[in-house]
Copies of this chain bind each other. A is one copy, B any other.
């Protein structure tokens, strides 16, 4: 099967991939359609052909990545039937996703910075879905007496805020480490950070011991 000269699906996903990288690095307004076309080695008109306009391209990028992370977290949470395992899976999966899609945190932080001005409905639904998921875990834990004094919204921000900042500040942290020798966690893998956050959240929510076992 020789490489086809035309492959709509491949062209489409190539555009999305390049657009994702560029939007993450420079934001919606910082990227021109010409730029995306050049990076994808296609004619600019293709972008309008596939995505109608620049906003449509942006929405396709965000929709894809937001749906993907939600699905992954839902899937990961299934594997556990105890509250602590679900919380751990939530944090670990978010971290794992951010590692595989390093552009995601920047895209998200940018979008939150303007309260989802570019994508009001999409951001609204996505933020809500993720929050409802974590919130469910935390409230279940509180009912079970596992967690104490939970404010789900703030715990949610603690988790995703920390992980997002950790990923987006990578180059800044590296520079601070190299020039000033400060410990900015440059040697850490994000999995270790996720583990640390999980442990600290347990302490924070006053989980009293290790009688609760959670999956791997």
* A interface residues (Cβ-Cβ under 8 A, vs B): 24-30, 106, 109-110, 112-117, 123-124, 127-128, 131-132, 135, 151-154, 157-158, 160-162, 164-166, 168-173, 175-176, 180, 182-185, 193, 196-197, 200-201, 203-204, 206
Contacts and interface: CB of A to CB of B under 8 A. Distances in A.
Nearest to A107: B113
Number of copies: 2
Nearest to A158: B162
B161 A127 contact: no
A26 B110 CA distance: 10
A69 B190 CA distance: 29
Contact of A154 (B112, B123, B153, B162): B162
28 contacts: A25-B117, A26-B117, A27-B28, A27-B114, A28-B30, A29-B30, A106-B114, A109-B110, A109-B112, A115-B170, A123-B172, A124-B172, A127-B169, A131-B176, A131-B184, A132-B182, A135-B182, A151-B196, A152-B183, A153-B184, A154-B166, A154-B200, A157-B162, A157-B166, A158-B197, A161-B162, A162-B162, A203-B204
